[in-house]
Amino acid sequence: MTETTQTQTHSGNITGALWMLAAVGLFTATVTFVKVLGEELDTFQIVFIRSVVGFLFVLPFALRGGKSVFIPKRPWVLLVRMVSGNGNLFCSFYAVTHLHLAAAIAISFVRPLLLIFLAIWFLGEVIRWRRWTATIVGFLGALVMIRPGFVEIEFAVIIALMGAAFGAASHTSVKLLTRSDRHLTLLVYPSLFGCIIFMVPGLYYWQALTLTQLGLLIVMGGSMICAQTCVVRAFAAGEATFVSPIQFIRLIGAALIGFLIFGEVPDVWTLAGATIIVSAALYTGHREIKVRSEKTPAPPPPSTDI
């Protein structure tokens, strides 16, 4: 890799990090809405309405984008994205509605660790030891929070772990697809697929909606599709193994929301795990900025010609 290529890679990682930070904020808002709605509505109904809202939100942009949006260049990889993305959506929503918010988010952080292996095998990314260390430390921070052996391994925990696996596959497929397909392609097809597969169970468990619930569902669908847009742009700009660990910061927002809105008081283990996770994410970003500055060529000295 030449010096110019390295500089471009690091610059892309910083851009990707900013997009991922935006996604973190939007996802935190989304899970808050899901948690509120899940107290009265079934998960299937929530994900079905979310899929419909997301599809209607992105469809006008896709139509304006022309025929190329609807012609995927890697249909089989797109199929993986559609299945894994919607699998992650359902599992994540189920975990959020059946577990404490911070615990559900913490378990989802198995995903970046799985993503490292997928990035090596399918994306050909070179993983340096500092990035390995930061990701593993962040994962250990999540384990500190959920404390295996102290937290009952219930069905919702298994679903949350399945969601992490689906999420890793989804993010890897997004990274592959952004090399060939348009961003809108990665958004419109998964949303349409979600409408189809969740329609029957969503209607089966359907309950009449209040105006407040309808408003929350619409806002949730919009925030979710915006968050996914940010994720797509993050993986298009930066390396998957760099931008993905930034999602650890979601844990802080989840803990705060859980405390302020749902009365979930974080204990010392939650605070300790959150500190470890955020430190790992911040260290990764600090190292990337430092490496980028070292690789940027110094400006030429001023001319001494008379």
Instruction: List 151's β-bridge partners, or say none.
Output: 148
Report how far residue 193's alpha carbon sits from residue 205's, in angstroms, rounded to the nearest whole number. Answer: 19
Can you list the residues of the chain whose pLDDT is less than 70? 1-10, 112-113, 123, 125-127, 148-153, 241, 281-282, 284-306
| pLDDT at 49 (0 to 100) | 92
* Cα pseudo-dihedral 16, 17, 18, 21, rounded to 10: 120
Tokens 């597969």 — which residue?
197
Q: Where does the chain have alpha helices with state H?
A: 3-38, 43-64, 75-98, 101-108, 110-118, 129-146, 155-177, 183-197, 199-204, 211-237, 240-243, 250-260, 268-295
User: Which two structure tokens, joined as six digits, stand for 205?
Assistant: 């468990």
Q: How many other CB atoms sit within 10 Å of the CB of residue 68?
A: 12
Count of residues making up the chain: 306
C-alpha angle with apex 18: 36 to 258, nearest 5 degrees?
25
| pLDDT at 128 (0 to 100) | 74
User: Which two structure tokens, joined as six digits, stand for 20?
Assistant: 């991922």
20-53 burial, b for 16+ CB within 10 Å, e for fewer? bbbbbbbbbbbbbbbbbbbeebbbbbbbbbbbbb
Mutual orientation of helices 101-108 and 268-295 as an angle, nearest 10°?
A: 40
| pLDDT at 299 (0 to 100) | 45
Q: Is 148 strand, coil or helix? A: strand
67 DSSP 8-state letter: G
| pLDDT at 304 (0 to 100) | 35
Q: Is 282 strand, coil or helix? A: helix
* Cβ–Cβ under 8 Å, residues 213 and 39: no
* Cβ–Cβ under 8 Å, residues 45 and 198: no
Q: Enumerate the domain spans of the chain.
A: 3-295
Note the pLDDT tens digit of each residue in 74-123. Answer: 999 999 999 999 999 999 999 999 988 888 887 787 776 677 777 777 76
* Cβ–Cβ under 8 Å, residues 171 and 235: yes
pTM assigned to the model = 0.76
